[in-house]
């Protein structure tokens, strides 16, 4: 099943370890709301449930605050999407969710447990468990109805270049950095951002980039001014770097971006289109993922007039462009 978009929680696993920036306010309970959409609360129990189930923690207040903020942002987006799904499906969807909750309760009873105990083991509440199931089932039903082969083909036709429909000649500046050291990552990102501004302001971006690569890049291509040659697909470069290549126009450079290897800046020299059809795809999983993300963003956009209020300020992300917000 498609994983829930779009906060990249897998990139946050490395930050689960205890750090000085944890949410240490033990006075909050699972029944307390951390945010609200048009006055309708979203409770900490649901945040706890996601953290416990995804990361296997048993002390939520020890999780890095950035992970908590990212998860809280994801839950706000999920609730916005769920509002749209409820508006579209109405009672028929509610009936499916009710049956699934009843099925879970029956299974728990067979095991000698109940929904309340199940929730408590996850530092959560029965309502949070129901809300979590509501989203998973509603989102799954929506994807099933939308991600048909015909719709995937239409999505593909509008984005061929993202799936191997061309090749790019690129150079890169690469700086190795330990992704688990957030301070080091931020320091390198800041330095590269300054370097990018200098290159963009130069009279000749190509020459300036090559000189910067020779002086600063840790890549084996540094002596060649960062020249990597032609790339076509994920695997030629890390996935996040290939995404940046595809979204950068010829003659332009990307902003600094992170991969599991370190920090990168890419310069796209030129692009050559290679004809490709839907039937040529060997793996449609990336296409399905991107289409699911686009659908998720569409649902959220339908709720652009919703008012998001953050009730626990320490959980509010530094920036969250999901709907109008109240402070």
Position 273 scores a pLDDT of 83
Which residue(s) pair with 172 in the sheet?
266
Instruction: Report residue 111 as tokens.
Output: 């095991």
Q: Supply the pLDDT for residue 319.
A: 62
Is the same domain home to 319 and 264? Answer: no
146 in the same domain as 16: yes
| 75 Cβ contact partners less than 8 Å away, ≥ 6 residues apart | 35, 42, 46, 47, 50
DSSP state of 222: G
The count of domains in the chain is 2
Task: Specify the residue for token string 């000085």.
Answer: 20
Tell whether 137 and 56 lie within a shared domain.
Answer: yes
Torsion of CA 16, 183, 268, 232, to 10 degrees: -30
Are 22 and 144 found together in one domain? yes
- Average pLDDT of the residues in 155-160: 88
- In angstroms, the CA 290 to CA 217 distance is 31
Q: How many Å from the N-terminal Cα to the C-terminal Cα in the chain?
A: 36
Could you tell me if residue 159 is inside a domain? Answer: no
Pair (248, 313) in one structural domain: no
Contact 145, 139 (CB under 8 A): no
For residue 283, tell me if it sits in a domain. Answer: no
13-17, 51-55, 158-162 — which is least confidently predicted? 13-17
In a domain, residue 257? The reply is yes
pTM of the predicted structure, to 2 decimals: 0.68
Query: With contact defined as beta carbons under 8 Å apart, do 192 and 175 qualify?
Result: yes
In a domain, 96, yes or no: yes
Higher pLDDT, 3 or 77: 77
Question: What is the structure's pLDDT at 323?
Answer: 47
Q: Output the DSSP codes for 15-55.
A: G-S--SSB---TT--TTSEEEEETTEEEEHHHHHHHHHHHH
Mark whether 297 and 268 lie in a shared domain.
Answer: no
The answer on 140 and 60 residing in a single domain is yes
Question: Do 130 and 249 sit in the same domain of this protein?
Answer: no
Residues 109 and 198 both lie in one domain: no
Quick check: 12 pLDDT over 70? no
- Average pLDDT, rounded, for the chain: 87
Q: Which structural domain range is residue 301 located in? A: 9-154+290-326
Instruction: Give the pLDDT mean for 269-281.
Output: 88
Comparison of pLDDT for 10 and 224, the residue scoring more: 224
Host H or E run for residue 241: helix 239-247
- Per DSSP, the residues of 263-319 read EEEEEEEEEEE----GGG-S--HHHHHHHHHHHHHHHHHTTTTPEEEESSGGGS-S-
Instruction: Give the pLDDT confidence score for residue 66 in this predicted structure.
Output: 87
Mean pLDDT of all residues in 72-79:
96
Q: For residue 194, give the CATH number of its domain.
A: 3.10.50.40
pLDDT computed for residue 112 by the predictor = 95
**Burial state string for 34-72 with b = 16 or more CB within 10 A and e = fewer than 16:** bbbbeeebbbbbbbbbbbbebbebeebbebbbbbbbbbb
Identify whether residues 294 and 149 lie together within a single domain. yes
Q: Do 85 and 119 sit in the same domain of this protein?
A: yes
Kindly report which listed range (54-58, 240-244, 261-265) carries the lowest average pLDDT score. 54-58
Cis peptide bond prior to 6, omega within 30° of 0: yes
Same domain, 32 and 149: yes
């Amino acid at each position: 099943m498609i994983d829930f978009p779009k906060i990249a929680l897998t990139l946050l696993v490395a930050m689960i370890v205890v750090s000085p920036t944890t949410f240490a306010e033990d006075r909050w309970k699972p029944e307390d709301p951390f945010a609200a959409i048009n006055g309708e609360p979203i409770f900490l129990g649901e945040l706890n449930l996601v953290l416990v189930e995804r990361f296997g923690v048993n002390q939520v207040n020890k999780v890095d605050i950035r992970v908590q903020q990212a998860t809280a942002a994801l839950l706000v987006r999920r609730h916005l999407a769920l509002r749209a799904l409820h508006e579209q499906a109405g009672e028929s969807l509610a009936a499916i969710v009710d049956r699934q909750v009843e099925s879970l309760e029956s299974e728990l009873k067979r095991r000698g447990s109940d929904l309340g105990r199940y929730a408590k083991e996850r530092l959560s509440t029965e309502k949070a468990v129901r809300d979590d199931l509501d989203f998973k089932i509603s989102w799954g039903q929506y994807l099933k109805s939308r991600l048909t082969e015909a719709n995937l083909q239409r999505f593909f036709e509008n984005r061929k270049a993202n799936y191997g429909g061309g090749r790019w000649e690129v150079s890169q500046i690469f700086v190795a950095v330990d992704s688990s050291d957030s301070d080091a990552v931020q320091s390198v990102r800041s330095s590269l951002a300054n370097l990018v501004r200098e290159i963009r302001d130069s009279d000749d971006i190509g020459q300036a980039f090559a000189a910067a690569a020779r002086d600063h890049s840790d890549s084996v291509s540094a002596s060649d001014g960062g020249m990597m040659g032609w790339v076509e697909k994920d695997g030629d470069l890390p996935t996040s770097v290939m995404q940046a290549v595809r979204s950068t126009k010829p003659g332009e450079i990307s902003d600094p971006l992170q991969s599991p290897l370190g920090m990168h800046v890419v310069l796209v020299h030129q692009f050559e289109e290679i004809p490709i059809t839907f039937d040529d795809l060997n793996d449609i999983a990336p296409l399905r993922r991107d289409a699911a993300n686009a659908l998720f963003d569409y649902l959220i956009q339908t709720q652009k007039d919703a008012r998001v209020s953050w009730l626990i300020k320490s959980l509010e992300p530094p920036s969250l462009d999901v709907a109008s917000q109240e402070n």
